[in-house]
Amino acid sequence: MKDHAKLAHENFKRGYNCAQAVAIAFADELGVDEERAARLASSFGGGMGKMREVCGAVSGALLVYGAVHGNSDPDDADAKKAHYARVQEFAARFKAEHETIICRELLKNIALKKENTSEPEARTDEYYRVRPCVRFVESAARILEEMLAE
């Protein structure tokens, strides 16, 4: 069995954004290759295009969850309700560990460089030393793995 949290960690360390790191770890479950998973999740890094909104690790995990267990019939209100309940369950589990799903709140103690700039930060040793993001991608991947197994 894959250790998705470890894969997500490795993906983040390879330079993928938080959403991509999680999505790529579950590329098989998505039914796509690594490149397609990276493209699908690319917009969600940095809390939606580096706007520091919903954590990219959460968004990447929910992208995968929707692909695997999402609803597709716009007239099936029960399926939509059940899916939204599972999304909320994921968020509750993530919040239980990290208090929030909002990127800027997760990074509250980090001096953010021009928060709403589109320029990515260099992935230096210092970046990895101060950023808690690896914990978030690991956590999101683990919670997703648990929920997919339920």
- Give the pLDDT confidence score for residue 112 in this predicted structure: 62
The chain-wide mean pLDDT, for the chain, equals 93
- Give the pLDDT confidence score for residue 124 in this predicted structure: 85
Nearest-10 crossing angle of helices 56-69, 133-149? 20
Q: Tell me the pLDDT tens digit for each residue of 78-133.
A: 999 999 999 999 999 999 999 999 999 999 877 665 555 678 888 888 888 888 99
Q: Tell me the pLDDT tens digit for each residue of 6-50.
A: 999 999 999 999 999 999 999 999 999 999 999 999 999 999 999
Q: Three-class SS of residue 82?
A: helix
Using only C-alpha atoms, the chain has a radius of gyration, in whole angstroms, of 15
CB–CB of 23/30 below 8 Å?
Answer: yes
pTM here is 0.92
- Give the pLDDT confidence score for residue 38 in this predicted structure: 98
Q: Tell me the pLDDT tens digit for each residue of 78-87.
A: 999 999 999 9
